[in-house]
Chains A and B, each alone.
Chain A
């Protein structure tokens, strides 16, 4: 299979992930694997122990679309003119304070680390979104995959019958699908916008369940006979595609929070975002490696404090319930929960009592899997205008995320002959916040 494209945009074959290399379906693809430049990728395959460490790890990204204010969340500046009216409150980590708008999260900082020194320099919604979705600036020659696709490829199981990447984005403002870029459509998100239940996965009413099962069995029979005579990766991939469709059709109930007892639904809360957090837990519990829950729209050019009083209450309840639930089910040690968006907000308060776009000194949080709870990395000045300690780029954040879930941040893909590092050049994981 040719991998070269004049514009270096041809998708690479997804069947050669490390997980695939170790998995049951690898035999069929090994020949193709060794026959192209991606052998460099294989040479970096880590040990089996490291591979196993990654098993069943998941990432949930709570995407704060529009740009949440770091001053009203993770980096308060009480008493400063830029600080706004909210107080900083103590947390369960004595040395750490966060905004009073997150009182529940304040009691869960033992599982959470904060980065207060993101300097991503792009205060434009479009550019900032691409940057924080892919970990690097947009480049005309390469279509980079987003975080969800990268995680799906690295942590997804080839034999999985659940989706590898689910993205919930119900609001319309700032909606951006993201995508698999050069990794190819296999790692594209299941993108849910109108409903939390995926559309078009139900069996047609005109086909009975018996007929449906009989058809599947017949397809398997024919496929097996074909594979016996024509074994090659394409045929195997074709068969896997059928298996995944069948898996998706049977996974509808995963998205249905009516399957949860009322007490669980009450625990998360009644808002759409809180219900989506519950869906996220159901998905990772079932083995989905990456779930993005977008909460829009934090773009508070007017009435920043009122907006954050609403949205932070939503976030605080949904996120704290999610962490508690994951913890109680023993899933938090293998699930990394993230919060960030495309940028933060200006320390300067404008005449509408709003805050504008600001990418020079803002915050993100990381909870659970692989994270040193209670750690705070980086520092901004007294007014929150600049990073004064431990500047972090988007790529550094991505390297930290990969390291936390056991993915080698020095890994490289190859698009054609060009090596593409999984994180941007020169970026490093933040060891201070890794467990």
Chain B
């Protein structure tokens, strides 16, 4: 084991010019790519002497950049302008620009083999694309365009299973759908309605929604993250919330509602080599929480210097890079080296 959640600490922060809404990392490197509220994409190379954000050039997004994923050596970003853009990360210029959705794209993710990408948008469609050619492969239709209260709904979250065979999508009213990637067939659905707070009396609008989904390592479970019931929906003043569903029986098996750190769970990750999950998000502040997903108990929780909109892990899964409100944060949670590793430092980096 190379990671220890109890050792979690923010090692450094880097100022961003705008709100960092998404982040990707080139494998085997510390080259990070961040998209944000200034419509731009930046590279931050942590191995550089002075790791300042370097702006990508060329015709980029026309609105918030809300998704980032690596496909091989290329970066793909999505935005509220409905576009998918492939970038040459060496030249830092766009190499393909696709009008992908009619409304805001909330997220883009890459399949584990890098051959496909999936997008979700407020047109309530999930689309699967050929990562190499940019061709549309599938359009997945199930999420309702309107909420039960006659307002436009939103489709926030998407994730591939670790084997790349399945997709999960989650929307504003708490509807989660599991899809078979090869056929585009809907396999199952589960509901997390507590993620959606409708205020019928005081303010007469809604807040919340499923903001993150993730499959467990074995693909048997799916976790959905968001926020619990909010009393005053003017603010994100509700418990951060994750619900974990067993897909074999179609039932919820864990309900993690946390008032220690309130707000939205914007991202969930299940490290390959560990038995716990990492949740990140926030309200006006931010948090990273480690939970034992079998017991639903917190292992470690930490306040972050900003609301966390997205994070990625390093290859060893003992360092986390978070993009958020005007900052990028690097946090480490490395296990202390045992005697054998102290004698042979190389052994400490082979945990993956």
Contacts and interface: CB of A to CB of B under 8 A. Distances in A.
Are chains A and B native binding partners rather than an unrelated pairing?
A: yes
Interface of A: 66, 79, 81, 85-87, 170-173, 269-273, 296-297, 299-303, 306-307, 309-311, 313-314, 349-354
A353 B286 CA distance: 13
A313 B151 contact: yes
Contacts of B233: 302
Contact of A296 (B39, B204, B206, B209): B204
Given A299-B234, A310-B152, A352 B307 contact: yes
A208 B68 CA distance: 72
Given A81-B17, A297-B202, 6 more contacts: A85-B64, A87-B63, A171-B203, A301-B234, A302-B234, A302-B284
A297 B204 contact: yes
Contact of B207 (A173, A296, A307): A307
Given A85-B104, A350-B284, A351-B282, A301 B235 contact: yes
A406 to B, nearest CB: 35
Interface string B266-286: 000000000000000011111
Contacts of B56: none
B113 interface: no
Q: How large, as a class, is the contact surface on chain B?
A: 35 or more
B325 interface: yes
A351 B203 contact: no
Contacts of B37: 81, 85, 349
A302 B207 contact: yes
Contacts of B285: 351
A349 B234 contact: no
Contact of B235 (A269, A314, A352): A352
A270 B150 contact: yes
A125 to B, nearest CB: 11
Interface of B: 17-19, 37-39, 62-64, 80, 104, 149-152, 154, 201-207, 209, 233-237, 263, 282-286, 306-307, 324-325
Closest 10 pairs (CB-CB, A-B): A297-B203, A302-B236, A310-B151, A173-B202, A351-B325, A85-B64, A302-B235, A85-B80, A351-B307, A299-B234
B64 A351 contact: no
B150 A349 contact: no
A321 to B, nearest CB: 14
B205 A297 contact: yes
A86 B82 CA distance: 12
Contact of B150 (A170, A173, A271): A271
7 contacts: A171-B203, A171-B204, A271-B149, A296-B204, A299-B234, A303-B236, A307-B207
A303 B64 contact: no
Given A171-B202, A297-B203, A302-B283, A353 B19 contact: yes
Contacts of A87: 62-63
Contacts of A172: 201-202
Contacts of B282: 351
Contacts of B19: 349, 353
B151 A297 contact: no
A351 B284 contact: yes
Contact of A81 (B38, B62, B152, B154): B38
Contacts of A352: 235-236, 263, 283-284, 307
A313 B152 contact: yes
B235 A310 contact: no
A302 B282 CA distance: 11
Contacts of A311: 205
Contacts of A301: 234-235
B189 to A, nearest CB: 23
Contacts of B325: 351
A309 B63 CA distance: 16
Contacts of A302: 207, 233-237, 283-284
A266 B201 CA distance: 23
A313 to B, nearest CB: 6
Contacts of B324: 351
B273 to A, nearest CB: 32
Nearest to B236: A302
Contact of B306 (A79, A349, A351): A351
Given A85-B64, A171-B201, A306-B207, A269 B80 contact: no
